Homo-oligomer: A and B are copies of this chain.
Amino acid sequence: MDDGTTIAATSEQLAEVRFNADGLVPVIAQDVLNGDVLMMAWMNRESLDMTLSEGRMVYWSRSRQELWRKGDTSGDHQLVREAFFDCDGDTLLFKVEQVGAGACHTGERTCFFRSFG
């Protein structure tokens, strides 16, 4: 398997990230190849550090209250390619290479497979 891109964030950049009262920040995962928004999930500081240093998306599961290294169970990993933080530092955007069937636990490639109207 191809490796993800590790990212050496500076302490100044990391200090810009504003975690909420639960110590979490929302993270958007976007397919680097076609631009599709794949999913939105959450990271705490530990999972953010792991994601940047491993080059693989590691979220914090709010339902299970544990680190969630995406794909460890399903095989559907997400390899990091680029990482961004927004103007007020309270949302992150990762451009990823989706491995396997897709991002969604339903088997769909993106979690946003249902439209209004």
Contacts and interface: CB of A to CB of B under 8 A. Distances in A.
Interface of A: 7-10, 13-14, 16, 26, 28, 30, 34-37, 39-40, 52, 82-88, 91, 93, 104-106, 108, 111-117
Contact of A26 (B8, B9, B40): B40
Q: How many copies does the complex hold?
A: 2
Secondary structure call for the A interface = loop
B93 A114 contact: no
B28 A114 contact: no
B40 A28 contact: yes
Contacts of A104: 87
A117 B9 contact: yes
A88 to B, nearest CB: 8
Given A39-B86, A87-B106, 10 more contacts: A13-B114, A14-B116, A26-B40, A35-B36, A37-B37, A85-B112, A86-B112, A87-B114, A88-B111, A93-B112
